[in-house]
């Protein structure tokens, strides 16, 4: 069983998922409390993973390694930019916390590349077995 959709609808879903996650993060991340900020970060990571699946997987049926490499690079860039954005939210809405620099380092060096590797594997599997197809 595979998901079949047009190229336009896959792109629309991808952009919509990313936009919604960024809005949630800007509205709730660290403005309410630390738990909502953590939830917004996890939602953002998951949404970028799903968006990369929708973008790269259907385009990589012939070359799944290239698609997974592109998804890996996409998530690495996200993994390095996202901690700086969330740290700026810390400063904007709650002041600089003592652990902000440590959290930025852990997210940028450990969590980001781990999520990028997970995304690359997921895109490779989805592309190789044609789980998401374009009409």
**Dist. CA 11–CA 17, nearest whole Å:** 10
**Dist. CA 107–CA 101, nearest whole Å:** 10
The predicted pLDDT at position 19 comes to 94
Q: What mean pLDDT do residues 4-15 have?
A: 90
Number of domains observed in the structure of the chain: 1
Mean pLDDT of the chain: 87
Q: Which of 85, 70, 72 is nearest to 112 (CA)?
A: 72
Tens digits of per-residue pLDDT, 77-106? Answer: 998 888 888 777 777 776 666 777 787 888
With pLDDT > 70 as the criterion, what percentage of the chain qualifies?
Answer: 93
Q: Which residues contact 96 (CB under 8 A, 6 or more apart)?
A: 90
Given a contact cutoff of 8 angstroms between Cβ atoms, the answer to whether 40 and 28 are in contact is: yes
pTM (predicted TM-score): 0.88
In terms of pLDDT, which residue wins out, 111 or 88? 111
Q: What mean pLDDT do residues 10-21 have?
A: 93
Residue-number span of the structural domain to which 123 is assigned: 3-134
């Amino acid at each position: 069983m595979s998901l079949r959709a047009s190229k336009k609808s896959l792109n629309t879903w991808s952009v919509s998922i990313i936009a919604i996650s960024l809005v949630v993060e800007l509205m709730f991340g660290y403005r309410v409390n630390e738990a909502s900020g953590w939830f917004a970060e996890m939602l953002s990571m998951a949404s970028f993973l799903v968006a990369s699946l929708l973008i790269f997987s259907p385009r990589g049926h012939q070359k799944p390694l290239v698609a997974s490499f592109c998804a890996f690079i996409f998530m690495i860039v996200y993994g390095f930019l996202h901690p700086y954005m969330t740290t700026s939210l810390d400063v904007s809405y709650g002041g600089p916390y003592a652990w902000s620099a440590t959290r930025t380092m852990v997210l940028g060096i450990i969590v980001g590349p781990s999520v990028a590797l997970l995304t690359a594997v997921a895109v490779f599997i989805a592309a190789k077995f044609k789980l998401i197809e374009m009409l």
